[in-house]
Each structure stands twice: as structure tokens, then as C-alpha cells.
Amino acid sequence: MPPLTPEQTQAVRQALAVTKRGCAELLVETDWVAKLTRSARTGQPLRIKLGLDPTAPDIHIGHTVVLNKLRQLQDLGHTVIFLIGDFTSRIGDPSGRNATRPPLTLEQIKTNAQTYYAQASLVLDPDKTEVRYNSEWSEPLGADGMIRLAAKYTLARLLERDDFTQRHKAGIPIAMHELLYPLMQGYDSVALKSDLELGGTDQKFNLLVGRELQKEYGQEPQCILTMPLLEGLDGVEKMSKSKGNTIGIQEEPATMFAKLLSISDVLMWRYFELLSFRPLEEIAALKAEVHAGRNPKDAKVMLAREIVTRFHSAAAADTAQADFELRARGGVPDDIAECRLSLPAEGLGLPAALKQAGLVPSTAEALRMIEQRGVRVDGTVAEDRALKLGAGTVVLQVGKRKFARVTLG
């Protein structure tokens, strides 16, 4: 077989560099280089797969760590497969769980799946993305097919999984259907004949099962690429809606901008590494400037503008930044909510006004915020829990970002 041309060799090197940027692990790198080399020689794109179970209706920026990588490989000309796990969602992924995950109903799965790809398309090129649902091949398997599939893997291998091992040792039940999950995810790779599968570091075992099952079915085994799990706004737990530490990719630009400005100076560089499309050399230079004394807020603003622009627009980023800076100076944004509240004869208590205006979920939370000096009335900090508002219009503020112009009467 003739050697690659200099241009083809450069293309392979570039593709390998793109693949490895920010990744946690690439298995097996020599196999991936061989696949890239074959693709460069023949002009045939590789099949690259990412599967997501629609367990929640919204995608947050933590999900985009792998979606960004998928888009980078898509831009190199490879075939990207966005797999919606409408079948595997019925089982529930046991990865990282210390208890059985309650299966979702078909109605929940269908509802969530409807929004998943629409949101993923904010990252991927929809015209070049192959969208598949794993019920296409999983449902037709039937009982006979499931038995044949299960015969290709051993219980001992499944129990090598850390979470299964820990639960087994601790006497925590492992339901039989949970043992099927890695097999069903692995069978997706067989059905799609994938060359590379992406996932978070918590998915490594499942991805390896897919590699082994492809061997069992006589296919060339896929390579696997794991990406780090992005920490949430707290900088401790991984980004998860259940933890309340997420930034949704469809959140309002001002909210998204403010949340990104709220992360710690240390976490900021992690976000740059996993979320930014800036060249690594540029990020390294920026980091050096901050270490030399430049205000880290400048770097956070650059990151926030990049992310808001990606999911909204440059104009939205401009507005969000201006709004943030106005609020930081104690100003009132122009686009605040307005509402009219009825006024009792004795006046309306401030806690009740805050709740009725939608600025707090309860009067108890209103009282807590007043005690913490987190409430302002027309720009002045409210210190009296018993304050009553009279007829007229006031601007109420809770924290740094919640405003309402309230008319009483």
C-alpha cells in the first residue's frame, strides 16, 4: 500500500490533535491512528457515535463537553451519529449509581427526546448529523435476540464494574435489568458499526463493552474517547440538574452570563479548557497574564461572552454584559418585570410583596433574604422585616439579579 502524501499525513496529525484536545483518555490510540490513516487514504469518513439517554428535558453546558468534541470531528468531515437512547432509557443507566435508577415512562422519554436533538443542534451541524434512536434495533431483538446477546458476555465481566462491585460488596441490590444496560449500549455500537464512541469518564465501562461486542460480531472494534465531567457552578459536584449547579444552554443570555461570572477563578480555567474554542496557546497566554496580575474578571468576561454568543448571539452577549455591569453598579436594568398588586387598607408587607411579585418562592425565603440584607426597595437595603408598602410604584430587588417594578393600589 503506497505511503500517505504529505498532505494526508498532515491531515492525520491534525485529526489526532483535535481528538485528544481536552480528552481524558483515548483507547486505543494506535488503533485510532490506523483508522484515521485509512480514512485519509480512501477518503471514506469514519463513523463517530455519541449516545445520550433523554432522562431530563434540558441539556446543560456540561453535556456540551462531548458535543463540542463531536462537532470538532464533524468539521473534519467524519460522519457523526447522535444517538437518542429511547430504549436504554427504559432500563436506566446504572453508571455511578449506588441504588437502582427508577425507569422512566414511555411518555417521559418521548417528551424529553423531542427537545434533546433540537438543543444538541445548537452545537452540531444538523445538516451533517445522522440522528438515530436505539429502539430501532433493540425492540426487534425480542426474547431470542436478547438471550443470544447476553450469551456473548459473562456475569464476571459485568461485575468488574466499580459501581456494581461496590454495591455487591455492600449488600445493595442490583436488579437484573441493570446488568442488561451495558450490553444494550454496547449493542448500539454493533448496530451502527461505529469507529469511535464518545462519552464521559463515567461511561468508560459501557464503551469498552461495545468494543468487545463488536469483536464478538466480527466487526473491527471501535475506539473510545472519554471526556472529563464538567464541575458545576459550585466547583465540587459534577454539573447536574439534581444538584442545582447547572447552566442550561437555553437559559436567558443575562442569566447565563451572570452564572459564568460567578464561578471561581480556579474553576474558570477548567471551563476554558473544556468549553472554549479558543486555541490552547491563546488560553495559556491569557492564564499567564492573569498570574502576572491581570484582573481574572477580564478572562471570565471573555469566557462568558464566548459561551453566550455561541448559544444566542454576539448582540445578546453585548446586552448581557451591559446588564451585568449595570447591576454590579447598583443600577436597575431597563427590561425588568412589571406587575400590579392589590393593596390592603393596612398596607402590603414587604415579604408578601416579594412573594406575589415572583421574586421569592415563599414568605419564609423573603424573610431570610431580608435578614441577610439581600433585599432592596428603590435601591435602599431593606432591614425591617415588618416594613409595609403603600400606594405607588417601587422597584424591588432580591440578590443581584432579580428585579420587579411593582405598582400597588
Q: How many CB atoms lie within 10 A of CB 230?
A: 23
Q: CB within 8 A of 114, min separation 6: which ones?
A: none
Could you give the CA distance from residue 327 to residue 324 in angstroms, rounded to a whole number? 5
Among the listed residues 191, 201, 188, 182, the one whose alpha carbon sits nearest the alpha carbon of residue 26: 201
The whole-number pLDDT of residue 94 equals 58
Give the CA angle between residues 251, 256, 299 to the nearest 5°. Answer: 155
- List the chain pLDDT tens, one digit each, 409 residues: 778 899 999 999 999 999 999 899 999 999 999 999 999 999 999 999 999 887 766 788 999 999 999 999 999 999 999 999 888 887 766 555 545 556 677 778 877 877 888 888 889 999 999 999 999 999 999 999 989 998 998 888 887 777 777 877 888 888 787 888 889 999 999 999 999 999 999 889 889 999 999 999 999 999 999 999 999 988 888 888 777 788 989 889 988 998 998 899 999 999 999 999 999 899 999 999 999 999 999 999 999 999 999 999 999 999 889 888 877 766 777 678 888 988 888 889 999 999 999 999 998 889 988 988 888 887 778 888 888 888 778 888 888 778 888 888 7
Could you give the CA distance from residue 362 to residue 370 in angstroms, rounded to a whole number? 13
Residue 376's H or E segment, with its range, is strand 375-377
Note whether 227 and 248 are within 8 A (CB).
Answer: no
Question: Cell 442545582 identifies what position?
Answer: 244
Domain boundaries, the chain: 6-238, 253-328, 337-408
C-alpha cell at 57: 428535558
Q: CB within 8 A of 207, min separation 6: which ones?
A: 197, 199, 222, 224, 226
Among the listed residues 65, 33, 32, 73, the one whose alpha carbon sits nearest the alpha carbon of residue 49: 73
Task: Report residue 58: phi and psi, to 5°.
Answer: -120, 150
Give the CA angle between residues 245, 284, 328 to the nearest 5°. Answer: 45
C-alpha cell at 393: 410604584
Give the CA angle between residues 304, 309, 310 to the nearest 5°. Answer: 100
List, in sequence order, every residue forming a beta bridge with 388; answer none if it has no partner: 349
Q: What is the DSSP string of 46-84?
A: PEEEEEE---SS--BTTTHHHHHHHHHHHHTTPEEEEEE
What's 6-238's CATH class?
A: alpha beta
Q: Is the pTM of this model over 0.85?
A: no
Q: What is the CATH number of domain 337-408?
A: 3.10.290.10
Could you give the CA distance from residue 375 to residue 381 in angstroms, rounded to a whole number? 6
CA 260 from chain centre, in angstroms, equals 14
Note whether 260 and 214 are within 8 A (CB).
Answer: no
C-alpha cell at 310: 455561541
Amino acid at 263: I
Note whether 190 and 218 are within 8 A (CB).
Answer: no
Could you give the CA distance from residue 53 to residue 172 in angstroms, rounded to a whole number? 24
The whole-number pLDDT of residue 118 equals 83
Buried b (16+ CB within 10 A) or exposed e, 34-46: ebbbebbeeeebb
Classified as helix, coil or strand, 295 is coil
